[in-house]
Amino acid sequence: MPHFPSEQLLTFATVLSEGTLDAAARLLHITPSAVSQRLKALEQSTGSVLLQRSNPAKATEAGEVVLRLARQVAQLEADAGRELGLGADGAQLAVPIVVNADSLAVWFLQALAKVPADLNVTFDLHRDDEQHSTSLLRSGTVMAAVTATPEPVQGCRVESLGVMRYRAVAAPHFVDRWFPELWEGLDSGSGLTGAALNAATTVDFDRKDTYQWAFVQSAFKAEGVPLPERKGPRHYVPASQDFGDAIRLGLGWGLIPEVQCGPEIADGRLIELAPDHPIDVPLYWQRWRTASRVLDVLSETVRDVSALYLRKP
């Protein structure tokens, strides 16, 4: 069984967070040579190359396992120090979390605001699509994730948060231009066709965003015709508020969380294209399995606040 000295784990994690050996040496107040020696000893004890000496430095596949261990050890040490009353120096624990953009915009910051100040933590938020966010858990980059993946990452526990419902919407003048013949059928969605949607300009969050295309496919499936290739022009707007604004301004149609667009649908500022066909995205909370008061309290606030905004699955 290999032994992992805490100073070697700390040095390895610091190199990856700072990007270079020199930057890690400055932060740790040791020489670059000492950093290199600690990394060499750690690689010898594991029998694996752990670090790609690139700029910035990156973990290898084996290094991701060790990075996860290093950050879990740091988490446990910080928790133990707090329980022993050794946190008087004012040092704050940084908690890295990956969150999808819509959760971040709608409810997640409110959960963080409810974390008690006496935990003395800061949050290092990473934004990634909920379909892809677990990769950051596997690599050890983050301690927790809001994700659409129900299967737990190794070393993590998972719980259901609820369902975020999306509505396909467009600005009235966009409907005038692209779907003029559909006004009479919009209330029931009967006038909407997959062909019309596929031809119209779409707003996508980024190139990982497949929700608009999934909505088009569902329209074709309902019509009983073969699914076409994606044809319409697309705008990419990678920020939740700006994404919604692009749709409100008529740049294209797209899917917006119901909690954000509901009032605008009600007063006619946005037109819902298919009221009977929302898109529901189940969301899950994955966190390290290690016992940690910080992660326990954070998980509790995430659970409580998400229940106010997400539908029950």
Distance, in Å, from the CA atom of 209 to the CA atom of 234, rounded to the nearest integer, reads: 11
pLDDT at 88 over 50: no
Range scoring the smallest mean pLDDT among 56-60, 114-118, 127-131, 240-244? 127-131
pLDDT at 81 over 80: no
Max mean pLDDT among 44-48, 110-114, 175-179 falls in 110-114
Tell me which of 16 and 306 has the higher pLDDT. Answer: 306
Distance, in Å, from the CA atom of 141 to the CA atom of 123, rounded to the nearest integer, reads: 13
| For residues 229-245, average pLDDT | 91
End-to-end Cα distance, the chain: 43
Residues 6+ away with beta carbon under 8 Å from 178: 170, 196, 199, 200, 201, 253
pLDDT of residue 53: 83
Given a contact cutoff of 8 angstroms between Cβ atoms, the answer to whether 158 and 151 are in contact is yes
Residues 6+ away with beta carbon under 8 Å from 117: none
What 3-state DSSP class applies to 280? Answer: strand
Q: In this structure, which amino acid lies at residue 16?
A: L
Q: How much of the chain is helix, strand and coil, in % rounded to 5? A: 45, 20, 35
Given a contact cutoff of 8 angstroms between Cβ atoms, the answer to whether 144 and 298 are in contact is yes
| For residues 8-33, average pLDDT | 90
Query: Which two tokens mark 56?
Result: 């910035």
pLDDT at 264 over 90: yes
The mean pLDDT of the chain is 87
Given a contact cutoff of 8 angstroms between Cβ atoms, the answer to whether 252 and 201 are in contact is yes
Domains of the chain: 1-82 (1.10.10.10), 165-281 (3.40.190.10)
How far is residue 7 from each of residues 35, 39, 47, 283, 299, measured CA to CA in Å? 10, 10, 18, 37, 29
- Per-residue pLDDT tens over the stretch 147-158: 999 999 888 899
pLDDT of residue 146: 96
pLDDT at 298 over 60: yes
pLDDT at 210 over 70: yes
pLDDT at 89 over 70: no
